[in-house]
Structure 1
Amino acid sequence: MSETVDLSLATRPSDADAVPGLLQDLNALQGTWTEGDEETRHKMVVKARSLLQSLLTPREQMVQHTWADPGLNAALITGVDVGLWKLMVKNGVDAVHKVEDLAESLGMDPELLGRLLRHVCAMGHLEEVAQDQYKLKNFTKSMSLDVIGDGYVCLHGGIGRSPIEFYKFLRETNWRNPVDASHTAFHASYNSKVPNCMLYLGSIGMGPQMNHHMGGYRQGRLPWHHPKIYPVEQELFPGADTSPDAPLVVDVAGGLGHDIDEFKRNYPNHPGKLILQDLAPVIEDAKDIDPSIERMPHDFLTEQPIKGARAYFMHSILHDWPDDVCQKILARLADAMKPGYSKILIFECVIPRTGAYWEATAGDMLMMTQLSACERTEDQWHKLIEGSGLGLKITRFWSSGLSAVENVIEVQLA
């Protein structure tokens, strides 16, 4: 006889028995936590989420996922688009904001704005002072920053149908793990012939918003060259060619140069030279970086023009592509490497075999539903790099030990 679930289960707390233990765990963690202790904070976030999920009934969680969260996104995106959050900050970050005053300044229907802000408040992101009067909280203050707010516009407003309609794509592909970069859920949802969702965002005028989001999600994370992750003064500088024209670090597909410029600021006396590579339109926009950094247009699927660099660095590049494309990218670098000298330094998420952190799995879902790519486990990294037949080997995974942050995957010629 097949088992069934009684409907009453959906209206009871999801795990009432777990609540006392979770409260004890949170109290114990709180007793040791100090601001700046990210590892303990991450543990508290996981426990707090588990506590909330244990207290909520399955029915409440269903309503949150299908009503509350989409409604919140609708309000937040509208606020970014109309300039609401910036206006509220301009009028006073700690002021009391009246809906009618905001609506008049924005040219909005006050009844519409009141409904939106009421839900944002009910979801915990505004402080209600009186009817249709609110104060900002730190989250909604931060929504005025382009690196925070623009992520909602580009990911939800620009390509948000892809994850929602992912099940349709899987149905059409017989429920296979997506690995074809030319046929993704994005292509299916938007009936688009554009090679990928990032180029699509640029084609609809959301390139700047995507660049802002890329900068925003990296905020608060340690850079790859931080001594807690990869000690460049012990691992990269010793043995490096010190002549001025010797390539030290080539930042492959480095975008606007945030990583390489930060490296330059933190290690101004580095040996050799630094090189930023990306497609020509991107390089043309890379203006706010140290002038000593060489800017070079380059497509990573073509021959690498810089031979024998000390390090070829890639940040969040391979997770955008399935294995077959990644192997082509790695092949170009392997051909350019100097045996016993050159390294590939890959700064990306490495998902553990068990106990994956929510931010890492969220990134994996984003890559899967938009690009038919993935965040990789340690086993998958070994398979990609060492099973590629390119003569490469992983020499070490360098990690700060914190949850949900990237590792430096150090690769050399075998």
Structure 2
Amino acid sequence: MYLSAAIGFVVDVNIPEILNEAPNHSLHAKDIASAAGCDTSHVSRVLRYLATRHIFREVTPDVFANNKLSSSLLKGNGKSLGELQAKPLEKYENSGNAAFVGHLIGEGLKSSSSMIEFLKSSGKAGHSPFSMAWGTEKRLWDWYAEPDNGWRFGRFVAAMQFVAQTYKDSIFQNAFNWKSLKSTDVIVDVGGNMGTVSLAIAKMFPETKFVIQDLPPVIEGAKPFWQANFPEAIENGRVKLEAHDFFQPQPVKGAAVYFCRFIIQDWPDSECIKILKRIREAAGPSSKLILFEIGIPYACADPTRYTADVEQRSAPYPLIPNLGKGGGMNPTNVDMQMLNLLNGQGRNIRQFIELGEATNWKLESVKNDELSIFTFSAA
């Protein structure tokens, strides 16, 4: 909790930027505090706490500098310290890892204080630990829509853009035999945000056609993204940007492939079933559904013989089968974050099979790369 609070503080008051712009890239705590508008003792103690954990360096007594880890917290939008301080509500735009850290800690840390009460109530005490901690009846997405939280939503969007960039294009390009599709076939990117996955596939396979769907504000933001990265795909009609709520009837009927990236983890089972049923209602007999998710590997051997083609994770003894902190830590961290903010969840293979059975989708295969690829056919 102290590590999270300390990192959240230095990102919020721009201390990595203060040090980056300083002569010799180092400053006394009193000068850092003056630039940040904070108390000298507080700044010194927080930075020493972090430097002890190899984030920042204490060069001489009370004089601090960035190191490799603290430099990763610099906002990647190229704005000067003055610009960041002049428009604090815009400082997380295109800010990379800083936005990701800010989102995780900004919303996550406070929300986690209500997790025990939420769990003890079997989830009946509120929509989520987030809703309890922040004193709101709204779910996170609706709370983001409030005017006072617009900057937080902007930070979240920037954080998700950063996450998207960490996954190599080849994951999505190799997820399916896209070459098998005819020029008349359509791929629907459900809840696609800016459409980064569709962009990766579209550039590799020039015959494919896409419909990228998300809520109206997100689709508006996707227009300049495509104009900057692949304008001809919009102009020639290969890519269509469509405002759509995935809880409503799916407007694209009989698409060859529908896919969702990091959508299912955001919701409890009851809501996931609604999303997948909407897609199934629109699907044709030969339609495929692909879910790009962070599948949760078991911390033990899985003896189940699945009818689907499943790439099993394994590790040699004495490592635990999901590789522990080397392999299973990030998926389980994601699972806790989904529980904390959304009452959503990361899922294991059996839970994906159950979701498919509840919505008339049959699991065909599971591939494991930096994320898991679950491919379903219409049952």
TM-score w.r.t. length of structure 1: 0.71
| Alpha-carbon shift at residue 226 of structure 1 (Å) | 4.5
Alignment of 1:407 with 2:376, yes or no, is: no
In structure 2, relative to structure 1, the CA distance for the partners of 1:159 and 1:192 (3 Å cut) is farther
Render the CA deviation track for 1:99-131: whole Å, top value 9, x for unaligned.
333333334333332222111111211222211
Give matches, 1:11-160, under 5 Å. 70-91=1-22, 95-145=25-75, 146-160=95-109
Structure 1 residue runs of 5 or longer lacking an equivalent are: 1-69
Secondary structure of 2:21's aligned partner: helix
In structure 2, relative to structure 1, the CA distance for the partners of 1:394 and 1:258 (3 Å cut) is same
**How many residue pairs align between the two structures?**
321
* Cα RMSD, aligned residues only: 2.4
Out of 289, 307, 316, the residue aligned to residue 344 of structure 1 is 289
Give matches, 1:209-220, under 5 Å. 209-220=155-166
Secondary structure of 1:397's aligned partner: strand
Give matches, 1:12-411, under 5 Å. 70-91=1-22, 95-145=25-75, 146-171=95-120, 173=121, 176=122, 178=123, 183-194=127-138, 196-203=139-146, 204-205=149-150, 206-223=152-169, 225-226=171-172, 230=175, 232=176, 235-238=177-180, 240-243=181-184, 246-247=185-186, 249-265=187-203, 267=204, 269-286=205-222, 287-289=224-226, 290-291=230-231, 292=234, 293-340=239-286, 342-353=287-298, 354=300, 355-356=321-322, 357-385=328-356, 387-388=357-358, 390-400=359-369, 405-411=370-376
> Do 1:345 and 1:408's aligned partners in 2 also have CA atoms closer than 8 Å?
yes
For 1:160, give the aligned amino acid.
Answer: L
The answer for the alignment partner of 1:9 in structure 2 is: none
For 1:288, give the aligned amino acid.
Answer: F
Render the CA deviation track for 1:331-362: whole Å, top value 9, x for unaligned.
1111222212x211100022223234011111
> Do 1:73 and 1:152's aligned partners in 2 also have CA atoms closer than 8 Å?
no
Secondary structure of 1:410's aligned partner: strand
In structure 2, relative to structure 1, the CA distance for the partners of 1:226 and 1:334 (3 Å cut) is closer
Distance in 1 (alpha carbons) for counterparts of 2:132 and 2:125: 12
| Alpha-carbon shift at residue 378 of structure 1 (Å) | 0.8
Secondary structure of 1:412's aligned partner: strand
Distance in 2 (alpha carbons) for counterparts of 1:134 and 1:99: 7
In structure 2, relative to structure 1, the CA distance for the partners of 1:202 and 1:77 (3 Å cut) is farther
Distance in 1 (alpha carbons) for counterparts of 2:112 and 2:360: 36
> Do 1:181 and 1:371's aligned partners in 2 also have CA atoms closer than 8 Å?
no
> Do 2:164 and 2:196's aligned partners in 1 also have CA atoms closer than 8 Å?
no
Render the CA deviation track for 1:236-257: whole Å, top value 9, x for unaligned.
221x2214xx42x211111122
Distance in 2 (alpha carbons) for counterparts of 1:135 and 1:82: 15
Distance in 2 (alpha carbons) for counterparts of 1:381 and 1:85: 42
Distance in 1 (alpha carbons) for counterparts of 2:109 and 2:13: 19
| Alpha-carbon shift at residue 398 of structure 1 (Å) | 1.7
Distance in 2 (alpha carbons) for counterparts of 1:349 and 1:358: 11
Structure 2 residue runs of 5 or longer lacking an equivalent are: 76-94, 301-320, 323-327
| Alpha-carbon shift at residue 159 of structure 1 (Å) | 4.3
Secondary structure of 2:96's aligned partner: helix
Secondary structure of 1:160's aligned partner: helix
| Alpha-carbon shift at residue 202 of structure 1 (Å) | 4.3
> Do 1:181 and 1:373's aligned partners in 2 also have CA atoms closer than 8 Å?
no
> Do 1:253 and 1:300's aligned partners in 2 also have CA atoms closer than 8 Å?
yes
Distance in 2 (alpha carbons) for counterparts of 1:216 and 1:288: 14
Distance in 1 (alpha carbons) for counterparts of 2:337 and 2:34: 38
Q: Pick the structure with greater CA Rg.
A: 1
| Alpha-carbon shift at residue 277 of structure 1 (Å) | 0.4
Distance in 2 (alpha carbons) for counterparts of 1:86 and 1:208: 20
